[in-house]
Amino acid sequence: MLTHHFFRRFFDSDTVQVEGETLTTVVRAISMVAAPGLITAFFLQNSYPRRSQWGAIEDHYFFVLLSFVVMGAVAIFEWEMLFPDRSDFLILTPLPLKPLAMLAAKAAALIAFLAVFLVSSNVFGTLILPAVSKGAFFRQLYAHASAVTLAGLFAALFFLALGGVLLCVLGAAWFRVVSPGVQMLSMAAIVLLMLQYLRYGDSMQAWFAEPLGIARWMPPLWFLGVYEHLLHGGAAPPFAREMARYAMDGTLASAAVVLLTYPMAWVRMRKMAIEGSSRRRRQPSQWWSWLIHRVVWRPGERAVFHFIGQTIARKNRYQVYLAMYCGSGLALAIACAVVFRTNGQHVQPALSQEGLHAVMPLLLFWVIAGLRAAFAFPMDLAAGWVFRVTGASVRECAAAGRRWVLICAWMVMCSILAMLRWAGWDLRHLLVQLVCGLCLCTLFTDGFFAFHEGVPFNQPRMPGTRSLPLMLTLYVGVLPPALFGFIHLEMHYERNPLDLVLLGLGVTALHLGLGRLQTGPEEVEEEMEGYEGEFQVLGLS
């Protein structure tokens, strides 16, 4: 029963409010990680047996990388759930349960959880690719299964070890501060590996030129060495033996760190749970309160403004959503700004001036989109009656959310300007970036929140109302062309700075026009249909 409880907790959370949504989440997650291997394996059947040696190596690397990315992303998304959280300790500790039984049940649930995604992401590729490659089926089946299993296992163990080390080294307060940043950077690294394959997969031979350079610092390439060494034996490419040694050493080291730190992290998490229940709440600093009072004037809007910040700081699930979005945006920005050029037989990184123009729109888009996704996940709907008894209008609460997002976007914009200044950009180019950044902050905030009338984190979810084709159209069909168009606009404004006046006037007019369209009623009663948190019925009887 305890193992089943811990396993379900990986998929269940306080943001799941609809009965049966947990099972839907599990099915969707497994389908998403299984589809790429199935589609790619079938797509490659027309390339064999005429596929060249390095072309086949490129195909093998895709499946190794897929296993690594999937297991790494799963471990990052379930960062704190890899260990028992505060609710588990506070609820289960008073029960007559042995501590070792709880530890064994959590470890068994964790192994089962990781095994589900490891098998789902690799089962189709393991069976189909050896069949379509027209080679020694069972030999390639063994090599493929071993390489992708080790790659996924290393990714899961690495991030589990990283979380355990942070828990053992840092205190409770510092762990909560550092964790979102580590999650964001880890997600950025994983997405960068996938983007690196998509852009430079055809240059695999240059990556493994002797002596090995940057390739030895990319863990997925270690397990490609395992694949080639098991598949070809003594006839494998020269890099295979050395990279396979890195793979085995890295996997064993990660497993040793997990075995050492997991019990210690368990004790630390239990201590954090007990101490956190009696910890005093710190008062906000005076300068921060003074700044908020100057930026947000209306009391109801100011209250919701504080509610948003405290909710994100308190709930790890929202921090994970933001870390995933921000990490993806950071990876795309780095992929645009940094290019790899072949110098003879070696690959060297370099900055792309044209790619640096994409940093501002990419980061602003993903940060604002991440906040919009976080606001859409409900929390504690039964306590939503407090917003109705205070007399604050729904429109005022929604305005606080937009104001909060806009301030976050401005902070990101200032960080980007500082980075571009460090990269050597002059004041003229920075002025263009400043004006374009302000316009983008306004346009993206209006686009994602123009018709969002409600309290953030306090609207019931309606499964099935989101259209997957529409989301794919936005992120795949609309975003890339718009990005290229905006890069050319930035370069045009650098040559003709006076045209920035027309851009500012156009964005201002559009912003005011959207503001006029927001003339809905103060409270949308349809949103409260089926809502059980009305203040007239507190559910006490």
- Which three-class secondary structure string do you get for 451-471? CCCCCCCCCCCCCCCCCHHHH
pLDDT digits (tens, 9 = 90+) for 479-518: 888 888 888 888 888 888 888 888 889 989 988 887 777 6
Tell me how far CA of residue 225 lies from CA of 49, 150, 195, 503, in angstroms: 22, 11, 20, 52
Tell me what the pLDDT averaged over the chain comes to: 81
User: pLDDT truncated to tens, each residue of the chain (541 aa)?
Assistant: 888 888 888 776 554 444 445 566 677 778 888 888 888 888 888 888 888 888 888 889 999 999 999 999 888 887 767 666 777 777 887 888 887 888 888 888 889 989 999 999 999 989 998 888 888 889 999 999 999 999 999 999 999 888 888 888 886 667 778 888 998 999 999 999 888 888 877 777 777 776 676 778 889 999 999 999 998 888 888 888 888 999 999 999 999 998 898 888 877 777 776 665 444 555 666 776 777 777 777 777 888 888 888 888 888 778 888 888 899 899 989 988 887 776 655 667 778 888 888 899 999 999 998 888 888 877 766 666 777 677 667 777 788 888 889 999 999 999 999 999 988 888 889 999 999 999 999 989 888 887 666 778 877 665 555 556 667 777 777 788 888 888 888 888 888 888 888 888 998 998 888 777 765 444 444 444 444 444 455 555 5
Q: Residue 420 and residue 429: Cα distance in Å, rounded? A: 9
Q: Residue 399 and residue 452: Cα distance in Å, rounded? A: 9
Q: Residue 417: what pLDDT?
A: 93
Residue among 382, 425, 373 at smallest CA distance from 537: 382
pTM: 0.82
Q: Residue 486: what pLDDT?
A: 86
pLDDT digits (tens, 9 = 90+) for 403-412: 889 999 999 9
Per-domain boundaries in the chain: 2-276, 302-519
CB neighbourhood size of 522 (10 A): 10
CB 121 within 8 A of CB 152: yes
Q: Residue 18: what pLDDT?
A: 42
CB 455 within 8 A of CB 528: no
Q: Residue 366 and residue 213: Cα distance in Å, rounded? A: 32
pLDDT digits (tens, 9 = 90+) for 1-37: 888 888 888 776 554 444 445 566 677 778 888 888 8
Q: Residue 33 and residue 118: Cα distance in Å, rounded? A: 9
Q: Residue 528: what pLDDT?
A: 43
Q: Residue 278 and residue 330: Cα distance in Å, rounded? A: 38
Q: Residue 463: what pLDDT?
A: 52
In the chain, what are the helix, strand and coil shares in percent, each to the nearest 5?
75, 0, 20
Q: Which tokens hold the place of 427?
A: 């004041």
DSSP state for residue 152 in the 8-state scheme: H
